[in-house]
Amino acid sequence: MEIEIGRRYRTRNGRKASVNVKDTGHAWFPYSGHVEGSPGIWVYWRKNGSCLLGDDPHPHDLIAEWSDTPTLWRDMTDAEKGALLLAHHEGKVIEVWVVDHHASWWGEKAVSYWRDDLAYRVRPEPKRETAYLWASFPDGIKAIGTIELLEGEPQKSSIRLSGEQPVCDSIRMEPVK
Q: What pLDDT, in 10s, does the model give residues 60-73?
A: 889 888 887 888 99
Q: Which has more pLDDT, 3 or 154?
A: 3
Q: DSSP labels for 68-125?
A: SSPPBGGGS-HHHHHHHHHHHHTTPPEEEEEEETTEEEEEE---SS--TT-BEEEPPP
- Which run of H or E residues covers position 80? helix 78-89
Tell me how far apart the alpha carbons of residues 89 and 50 are, in angstroms, rounded to a whole number: 32
Same domain, 115 and 159: no
- pLDDT of 170 > 70? The answer is yes
Q: How many CB atoms lie within 10 A of CB 135?
A: 14
Residues 13, 45, single domain; the answer is yes
One domain, residues 57 and 82: no
Instruction: Categorize the per-residue pLDDT at 111 as very low, low, confident or very high, splitting at 50, 70 and 90.
Output: confident
Average pLDDT, the chain: 77
Residue 147's domain comprises 128-175
Which tens digit of pLDDT belongs to each residue from 113-157?
Answer: 899 988 898 887 766 666 555 555 666 655 556 656 555 555 566
Same-domain pairing of 117 and 132: no
Residue 2 is assigned to a structural domain of this protein: no
Report the length, in residues, of the chain: 177
Quote the pTM value: 0.45
Dmax over CA atoms of the chain, in Å, equals 67
